[in-house]
Amino acid sequence: MADEANRSAFLEIQGRMIETTGKLKHVQNQMRNKEGEKKRAYLTLEELKQLSEDTNTYKSIGRTFVLEPKSVLVEEQEQKLKDSEVALASLQTSKEYLEKQMAEVENNLRELLQQDPGLARQIMSMSPRRNNSKSSTAPNQQPPPSSFQFMPTQSVRLSKTTVYNKSGPSIEGKEKAMASTDVIEEDIVM
């Protein structure tokens, strides 16, 4: 009965660890994006400050460029810079909180494995084995099934793009060859 309780506790801790790791990676990605936005706003602001006040400046909106006074563009870039700094401070707080949660989950897992060495051995027997002479399984033989199974947390999706030219090499020019080209995209799921 205690063995079953330890197994369910392990699965719960494992789920919390996977969830916390995912959240932490998400926050780190958001921080990288905000740092890029901050750097872009800073560099744009520096370039705008070098321009004279009577210089025509344009704001990009989709595919079009709209004439805007320099002061408006400077204010927008300053606001983007401030917003990025505020967002980075908030994300840093979230990151620190998630790192503390991760350390707590790791400690809980360590304590559980110290309490039940049999569970630790069972988990270690499920980990992939390296090619060494001490291995008890044959090279093409699968290890015996166990009661624990690790589930993948995400699938990998690859995309393959192939370009086909209908007319083959064309002497008449690039435009005709490009007009007769098909692009086929295939999804490969692993």
pLDDT digits (tens, 9 = 90+) for 131-184: 554 444 455 555 554 444 444 444 333 433 434 444 444 344 433 334 433 444
What is the pLDDT, as a whole number, of residue 122? 78
136 SS3 class: coil
Query: In this structure, what are the phi and psi dihedrals at residue 148, rounded to the nearest 5 degrees?
Result: -95, 140
Sole residue written with tokens 């020019």: 173
- Domain with residue 42: its CATH number is 1.10.287.370
Number of domains in the chain: 2
**In a domain? residue 148:** no
The total of other beta-carbon atoms located within 10 Å of residue 94's CB is 15
Q: What average pLDDT score do residues 33-52 get?
A: 94
Identify the domain containing residue 32 by its residue range. Answer: 7-126
107 or 1, greater pLDDT: 107
What is the pLDDT, as a whole number, of residue 127? 67
- The encoded tokens of residue 104 equal 């707590």
Q: Do 111 and 171 lie in a common domain?
A: no
**In a domain? residue 67:** yes
Q: Report whether pLDDT(24) > 60.
A: yes
- pTM, entire model: 0.59
Q: Do 172 and 82 lie in a common domain?
A: no
Q: What digits encode the pLDDT tens for the residues 55-76? A: 999 999 999 999 999 999 999 9
Q: What average pLDDT score do residues 25-34 get?
A: 96
**In a domain? residue 51:** yes
Rounded Cα distance, 119 and 113, in Å: 7
Q: Which stretch of 2-6, 26-30, 51-55, 73-77 has the lowest confidence by average pLDDT?
A: 2-6
